[in-house]
């Protein structure tokens, strides 16, 4: 399988994962079908959209409309199953997987435009966390990104790992896999041990 095909498949999986979490959160908030579709779409597509726009490039969903199929599939499953329970541990794991894939995909995408490592890391974080941040804001939920579980830190750790390993010019799959694993480990450990960045104390 070609590397570009693998990246596209991973993007599709990450889109579905983020859309599933978004649609479930919207359903738990009592939103109608339109609201569920909107939150699912924002959750899964906003990060890649902002990443591409910063690079003066068309959003991924314009170039690959099949990404909408993943969003609609997630929405359909939520509606058909009448899933309105709060996001549980399984969906958190699904969200973590999406975060890992989005981080790796965004890092790879940015480096393909030969940007500096710092810019690549910033764009990787943008692609990974923007959708979740907007999802929480639109659903009037305390943004997880700003309060707990070190989502941004997880994305940064995975992006830096990918960028460093990529400098050794090894097989592209190795930095991608290891970078993704780092994202998952940091996120899961932060959830288990309730890690978060330091706060200002009065």
- Domain locations along the chain: 3-193
Average pLDDT of the residues in 149-163: 92
Average pLDDT of the residues in 133-139: 94
When mean pLDDT is compared across 18-22, 147-151, 152-156, the lowest value belongs to 147-151
From CA 165, how far away is CA 33, in angstroms rounded?
43
- List Cβ neighbours of 8 (8 Å cut-off, separation of 6 or more): 64
Query: DSSP readout, 30-79?
Result: T--HHHHHHHHHHHHHHHHHHHHHHTT---HHHH-TTHHHHHHHHHHHHH
Give me the pLDDT at residue 4, please: 66
Average pLDDT of the residues in 198-202: 81
C-alpha to C-alpha distances, 129 to 84, 142, 146, 168, 173, nearest whole angstrom: 23, 14, 11, 27, 22
Q: Which own/partner contact pairs does 191-199 have at CB distance under 8 Å and 24+ positions apart?
A: 191/92, 191/149, 194/148, 195/149, 195/150, 196/147, 196/148, 196/149, 196/150, 197/150, 197/153
Q: What is the 3-state secondary structure (H, E, C) of 135-197?
A: HHHHCCCCCHHHHCCCHHHHHHHHHHHHHHHHCCCCCCHHHHHHHHHHHHHHHHHHHHHCCCC
Torsion 91-43-137-76 (CA) sign: negative
As a whole-number percent, the residues of the chain with pLDDT over 70 amount to 93
User: pTM value?
Assistant: 0.91
The secondary structure of residue 85, as a DSSP letter, is: S
Kindly state the tokens that stand for 31.
């939103």
Give me the pLDDT at residue 200, please: 84
pLDDT band at 170 (very low <50, low <70, confident <90, very high): confident
Query: If you average pLDDT over every residue of the chain, what do you get?
Result: 90
């Amino acid at each position: 399988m070609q590397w570009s095909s693998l990246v596209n498949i991973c993007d599709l999986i990450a889109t579905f994962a983020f859309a599933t979490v978004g649609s479930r959160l919207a359903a738990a908030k009592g939103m109608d079908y339109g609201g569920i579709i909107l939150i699912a779409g924002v959750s899964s597509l906003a990060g890649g959209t902002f990443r591409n726009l910063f690079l003066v490039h068309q959003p991924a969903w314009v170039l690959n409309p099949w990404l909408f199929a993943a969003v609609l599939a997630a929405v359909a499953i939520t509606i058909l199953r009448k899933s309105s329970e709060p996001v549980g541990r399984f969906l958190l794991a699904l969200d973590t997987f999406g975060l890992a894939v989005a981080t790796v995909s965004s890092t790879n995408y940015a480096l393909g435009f030969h940007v500096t490592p710092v810019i690549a890391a910033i764009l990787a974080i943008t692609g990974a966390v923007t959708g979740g941040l907007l999802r929480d804001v639109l659903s009037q939920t305390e943004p997880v990104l700003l309060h707990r579980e070190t989502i941004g830190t997880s994305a940064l750790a995975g992006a830096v790992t990918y960028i460093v390993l990529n400098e050794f010019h090894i097989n592209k799959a190795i930095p991608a896999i290891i970078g993704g694993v780092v994202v998952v480990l940091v996120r899961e450990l932060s959830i288990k041990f309730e890690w978060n960045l330091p706060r200002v104390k009065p």
